[in-house]
Each structure stands twice: as C-alpha cells, then as structure tokens.
Amino acid sequence: MAGEMKSMKDEIAVIRNLLREQNERLTRLEMENNALKITVSKLENDNLLMKDRLEDISDENKALKLEVSDRRQVTTVLEDSNHANMDKQEEPSGAFGENAVHRRLLLPDAGSPSTTPLPVEPVAFYAYMSKSEPTPSNHHSLIFDMLKTNLGNGYNKFSGTFVAPSAGAYVFTWTINTNPHGAHWINLMVNNVIVGGTVSDTQDTADFDSDSNTAVVVLDQGDSVNLRTTLPSDRAVLVADVHAFTSFAGWRL
C-alpha cells in the first residue's frame, strides 16, 4: 500500500512538472508573439513611409520634367526672336521713315522707371518627420526630413532650417505630437532668437498629445528660422507616423 501511494505521488509530481513546463513555454510563446506583432507593425509603418517617399520622388521627377519643358520653350522663343531680328530689313526713308520716327518717339523712355510691378515669386514650404524621435536633448534642432513643398527653395530638409530667399512678412506654423507620460518645450527661433513656442505635457496622463502654434514675423533676406527644444525631454518621444504628423510649414505673405 505504501508503495502504491509513493508511486501515485511520483506520478502527480511528474504531471505537475509537465504542467509547469508547458505554462512556461506558453508564456515564452506569447512574449515572442507580441514581439513579432510589434515588428510587423513597425514594418508596416516603414512600408507606408517608403510609399510616401516614392510618391515624393515621383512628384519631384514630374516637376523637373515640367521645368525642362518650360526652359526648352523659352529657348525656342528666344531663337525665333533672334532669327526675326536678323531677317528684319531697314525701314524705308521718306514719309514712311518719318512716321516710324514719330511712332518711336511716342514710346516710353527706356531710362524712365516702370510703373508695372515686378512679379513676385511665391515662397512656401511644408515638411514633416518620417520617424519618431526619442527624448531629444536641450537646444536640439528639429529636422523635418519629409519635404512635400518647397517653393523658393528656402527650406533645408537636412538641417531643418528655413532661410528667407527675400525680405517680407512670413507665416510659420508647426504641430508637435507627444507620447503618454512625456513633455516637450518647443520654440520657434529666428536667427537664434525665440519668437514663438509650444508646450506638450502628458506626464500625468496616459494619452497622446498634439499641440500647434502659428507666428507671423518680418524677415530680411538671409534670416534663418528653425524649431528647437528649450528644455531636455524626460521620457518624451516626438511621435511621427502615418496617423500623427509632426510637421513644420511656412510661407511669405
């Protein structure tokens, strides 16, 4: 009888060990499954960002083709004009020549100032971050590398800085997305002088935060404008994905 009881206890102990090993294996599989889900999610986001980049390249290619076509048309017009001037005969003398002189006298003096305003080239840019940026340090310049619009070529997507191609009044607007339990202090800088700012604070909440601001400033040609952090971030991530764009834009009035 004692032998049978010992045998049953041994079998129960073996079964318990098997159950424990199975539970540990299930826990490991669940952790691996969660890690795979995170990896797949990141790959999907990277894929969407790559699609956006391909669209940007396609748009830039179309713009370059249009610019080449426009320049070819201008070249053709100039060549036709040169040929016409070379083929033009001397004006006849006599009464017809006198009439031509009178007509020329009625034209405005070439040296007098023109009252027609010169056309103003548009200046505008819009860019956003292609990936999130964790815990940026103090006085960290933000770089918005996905450039969608850059009329006037004033914005540099590698440095995150806009340089005014001409003097005038400019509007700047920006949006900063922050993860839960974090905080960002962001300032708009003109020649390293603070002219605007936002605060994103979710340290006491479990929600994401999105903050925007707008500033109108008068710039001289060559003035530089960028966004930077004012204080170091603690556990704060600048969130950037296909659903929450951390962006920077500006245009001349």
Q: What is the pLDDT of residue 221?
A: 95
Among 150, 209, 160, which Cα is nearest to 185's?
209
Would you state the structure tokens that stand for residue 65, as one six-digit string?
Answer: 């083709």
Would you state the structure tokens that stand for residue 174, as one six-digit string?
Answer: 């920006």
- Domain 124-252 matching CATH 3.30.700.30: the answer reads no
* Of residues 86 and 43, more confidently modeled: 43
Q: What is the pLDDT of residue 2?
A: 74
* Of residues 24 and 49, more confidently modeled: 24
Q: What is the pLDDT of residue 241?
A: 79
* Residue 177: C-alpha distances to residues 55, 168, 203, 225, 244 (Å): 24, 30, 13, 20, 7
What does the DSSP 8-state code read for residue 239? -
- In the predicted model, is pLDDT for residue 53 greater than 50? yes
Locate the domains of the chain by residue range. 1-118, 124-252
Q: What is the pLDDT of residue 139?
A: 81
Q: Which of these ranges, 14-28, 77-91, 204-218, has the smallest mean pLDDT?
A: 77-91
Average pLDDT over residues 91-111: 46
Give the pLDDT band (50/70/90) at residue 4.
confident
The torsion angles phi and psi of 82, rounded to 5 degrees, stand at: -65, -40
Which ranges of the chain would DSSP assign to H, the alpha helix? 2-87, 95-106
- In the predicted model, is pLDDT for residue 3 greater than 80? no
Q: What is the pLDDT of residue 100?
A: 44
Q: What is the pLDDT of residue 88?
A: 55
Q: Which of these ranges, 29-38, 46-55, 141-150, 191-200, has the smallest mean pLDDT?
A: 46-55
- Under 8 Å between Cβ of 154 and 221: no
- In the predicted model, is pLDDT for residue 112 greater than 60? no
If you count them, how many residues does the chain have? 253
- Under 8 Å between Cβ of 214 and 173: yes
Q: What is the pLDDT of residue 37?
A: 83
- In the predicted model, is pLDDT for residue 113 greater than 50? yes
Q: What is the pLDDT of residue 154?
A: 96
Q: What is the pLDDT of residue 189?
A: 96
Average pLDDT over residues 34-63: 79
Q: How much is the pTM?
A: 0.52
Q: In whole angstroms, give the CA distance from residue 228 to residue 209.
A: 18
